[in-house]
Amino acid sequence: MALGEFDLIHRYFDRPGGRAVLGIGDDCALVAPTPGMQLAISTDMLVEGRHFLSTVAPERLGHKSLAVNLSDLAACGARPLAFTLSLALPRVDEAFLAGFSQGLFALADAHGIELVGGDTTAGPLNISITVFGEVPPGRALLRSGARPGDQLWISGTLGDARLALEVFRGTLPLAGEAFEQVRLAMERPTPRVALGQALQGVATAAADISDGLLGDLGHILKRSRVGAQLEADALPRSPLLAAQPLAVQRQCTLAGGDDYELVFTAPAAAAAAVQAAGRAAGVAVTCVGHIQAEPGLRVVDAAGRPVDHGLASFDHFKA
Amino acid sequence: MALGEFDLIHRYFDRPGGRAVLGIGDDCALVAPTPGMQLAISTDMLVEGRHFLSTVAPERLGHKSLAVNLSDLAACGARPLAFTLSLALPRVDEAFLAGFSQGLFALADAHGIELVGGDTTAGPLNISITVFGEVPPGRALLRSGARPGDQLWISGTLGDARLALEVFRGTLPLAGEAFEQVRLAMERPTPRVALGQALQGVATAAADISDGLLGDLGHILKRSRVGAQLEADALPRSPLLAAQPLAVQRQCTLAGGDDYELVFTAPAAAAAAVQAAGRAAGVAVTCVGHIQAEPGLRVVDAAGRPVDHGLASFDHFKA
């Protein structure tokens, strides 16, 4: 049986309304923002082979599609409110839709947010989500606020998602539980939403790490018109990644991609507040360097020697 | 030369900021909604072969991609504020990007709205836009407000876009200026944004006609729990379509698709106000029937005889 477009939306994506004044089913959704708050908006498109592999379970893909968008809100310190979903599918695949919507809504429910609009169409698999959050005026974490002397921080650990990708590519061997663990990092990332909000008024700048640390930190440095020294050996990594050759560790932590951790800056005097924010959000935060007035990024090892970082940031057109 | 993702965004889509507090270039855009207004949100995804043909000029595709989204805001009576764009492209095609962005921004500028967020990736051509507008609380035009006795109205004319599609499909002959005219209707629709706002407090229900009149009117009837009598011969159509066989006229006006006109209802006592709204917005409005308490849609001809309307609404999975 071929389901029509509207049946599809209805069956898998229509749910009882929550904070939206009017949800799916009209030409527009109507949302009443909290008076006085600014609206934070971000959008991310996921394409097979670029942002996920065909081997991913639908539940995980549903989770990841929303997670990468929530990660952008986290990087701004915004509280998530709602999202829209546009979905192109090669064919009506109910097993896919059931799994995808389950993973999507499980994460949405965990953050108390609602799907307020959607579109489905036949076409090559494509998932486009736009998320909305709120943040008090002047409290959003921007990329432009880093100042010389600020410490440079990373949440969680970096590189496991890239490690998993390399295993899929056949360039690295990893099996059993170890493979499952890094695969989970790649396919089911945790957006640092609580940390982002806890860093309001503490961090001076922030970005989420989606295209590799070097690239995303580069955005902060460029927009803040500063430079940085980054200690490669201080970058937080899982025991699994720490067991890999040093070159692999460097590649995965510095230019891995798909980490969805936060890179952020804060004055040295705020170090205790940063640690407290991490504890409140239930995620480790690690100081990995500091901001300098001189433009450019200087990556050094534990002994302070320069580390070659001629590593391209993960870029969806270059990779 | 292969351009990277960020260069692409920058070159074609980064423009000086307007009403957004913070536009493209950070993790999120920040927008300050007008205090007390509700936010109207809609999203539409366009896929080649489903929503446009490969023969469309990039300028027109840029226009249409935003137009179909603005049409949803129009159907709610909302004032457009901003939009996000996610774009998957098979390859970096600068001629396409230049034309596409030109058409997109020309329409955005005409409505005074701003691109506040975006994502680009390699992948099969896919255009996903989310639009934001505002509307005073309680003033949005919904699909659920039609009442028995209301008159049924249509803006502009219906069916030219479908006529063009049939010419492309080779099922109808049309050439020269005539073909150019219907092709323009298909490739460069005009969203009825001003009309939608002018109908605030006048219309009782509205929807935009994107999937064919029967389908979109059906949404109003279903959500309003009413029926309607529709006079097929009263449906507004261009002289070009009126010169086609009656069966073609019926197919194109009743179930054409891609019209992006508004279908709306209003009390008979508001007929003068509806006409005034049309004049103010610079678009013809035509009364084509009325709402009835009995569920179901009864399509009749000028003599009041039933017209067979076993015509499927344009559905992107069935077509």
**All structural domains of chain B:** 5-135 (3.30.1330.10), 151-300 (3.90.650.10)
In chain A, the largest separation of any two C-alpha atoms, in whole Å, equals 65
Q: What is the pLDDT of residue B1?
A: 31
Band of pLDDT at residue A10, cut at 50, 70 and 90 = low
Residue type, position B231, single letter: E
Task: Tell if the CB–CB gap between B50 and A22 is shorter than 8 Å.
Answer: no
Average pLDDT, chain B: 89
In chain B, the largest separation of any two C-alpha atoms, in whole Å, equals 66
B124 touches chain A (CB under 8 A): yes
Reply yes or no on whether the pLDDT at B212 is more than 50.
yes
The chain B residue lying nearest A132, using CA atoms, is B28
Q: Does A315 carry a binding-site annotation?
A: no
For A:228-267, CB contacts with B below 8 A are: none
Reply yes or no on whether the pLDDT at B5 is more than 70.
no
Q: Do B264 and B273 touch, CB atoms closer than 8 A?
A: no
Q: What is the pLDDT of residue B316?
A: 42
A94 touches chain B (CB under 8 A): no
Q: Which residues contact A286 (CB under 8 A, 6 or more apart)?
A: A153, A154, A155, A234, A235, A236
Pick A27's closest partner by Cβ from B72, B85, B318.
B72
Q: Does B43 carry a binding-site annotation?
A: yes
Kindly report, residue by residue over B87-100, the tens digit of the pLDDT: 999 888 888 999 99
Band of pLDDT at residue B306, cut at 50, 70 and 90 = very high
Structure ipTM = 0.85
Kindly report, residue by residue over A14-72, the tens digit of the pLDDT: 766 555 555 566 778 888 888 889 999 999 999 988 888 888 899 999 999 999 999 99
Q: Which residues contact B276 (CB under 8 A, 6 or more apart)?
A: B198
Task: Tell if the CB–CB gap between A135 and B30 is shorter than 8 Å.
Answer: yes
Reply yes or no on whether the pLDDT at B23 is more than 90.
no
Q: Do B43 and B132 touch, CB atoms closer than 8 A?
A: no
B121 touches chain A (CB under 8 A): yes
A224 CA to chain B: closest CA distance, Å?
A: 11
Question: Phi and psi (nearest 5°) for A66?
Answer: -80, -35
* Mutate which: B7, B8, B28, vs A, most A CBs within 10 A: B28
Residue type, position A61, single letter: L
Tell me the mean pLDDT in the region A215-242: 96
Bigger pLDDT: A102 or A91? A102
Kindly report, residue by residue over B235-287, the tens digit of the pLDDT: 999 999 999 999 999 999 999 999 999 999 999 999 999 999 999 999 999 99
Task: Tell if the CB–CB gap between A33 and B32 is shorter than 8 Å.
Answer: no
Kindly report, residue by residue over A154-213, the tens digit of the pLDDT: 999 999 999 999 999 999 899 899 999 999 999 999 999 999 999 999 999 999 999 999
B1 CA to chain A: closest CA distance, Å?
A: 11
B39 touches chain A (CB under 8 A): yes
Q: Does A143 carry a binding-site annotation?
A: yes
Which residues of chain A are within 8 Å of residue B32 when distances are taken between CB atoms?
Answer: 38-39, 137
Tell me the mean pLDDT in the region B207-234: 95
Q: What is the pLDDT of residue B319?
A: 36
Reply yes or no on whether the pLDDT at A293 is more than 80.
yes
Q: What is the pLDDT of residue B74?
A: 97
Task: Tell if the CB–CB gap between A128 and B126 is shorter than 8 Å.
Answer: yes
Reply yes or no on whether the pLDDT at B315 is more than 50.
no
Torsional sign, CA A247, A248, A253, A255: positive
DSSP structure string for chain B: -PPPHHHHIIIII-----S-SB-BTBSSEEE-PPTTPEEEEEEEEEEBTTTB-TTS-HHHHHHHHHHHHHHHHHHHTPEEEEEEEEEEESS--HHHHHHHHHHHHHHHHHTT-EEEEEEEEESS-EEEEEEEEEE-TT----TT---TT-EEEEES--SHHHHHHHHHHTSS---HHHHHHHHHHHHS----HHHHHHTTTT-SEEEEESS-HHHHHHHHHHHHT-EEEEEGGGS---HHHHTS-HHHHHHHHHH-----EEEEEE-GGGHHHHHHHHHHHT--EEEEEEEESSSEEEEE-TTS-B-----PPP-TTT-
Q: What is the pLDDT of residue A32?
A: 83
Q: Does B49 carry a binding-site annotation?
A: no
Q: What is the pLDDT of residue B318?
A: 39
B175 CA to chain A: closest CA distance, Å?
A: 30
Tell me the mean pLDDT in the region A263-282: 98
Q: How many CB pairs under 8 A join A and B?
A: 237
Kindly report, residue by residue over B153-170, the tens digit of the pLDDT: 999 999 999 999 999 999
Which residues of chain B are within 8 Å of residue A140 when distances are taken between CB atoms?
Answer: 22, 28, 30
Reply yes or no on whether the pLDDT at B36 is more than 90.
no
Which residues of chain B are within 8 Å of residue A92 when distances are taken between CB atoms?
Answer: 317
Pick A26's closest partner by Cβ from B8, B88, B142.
B142
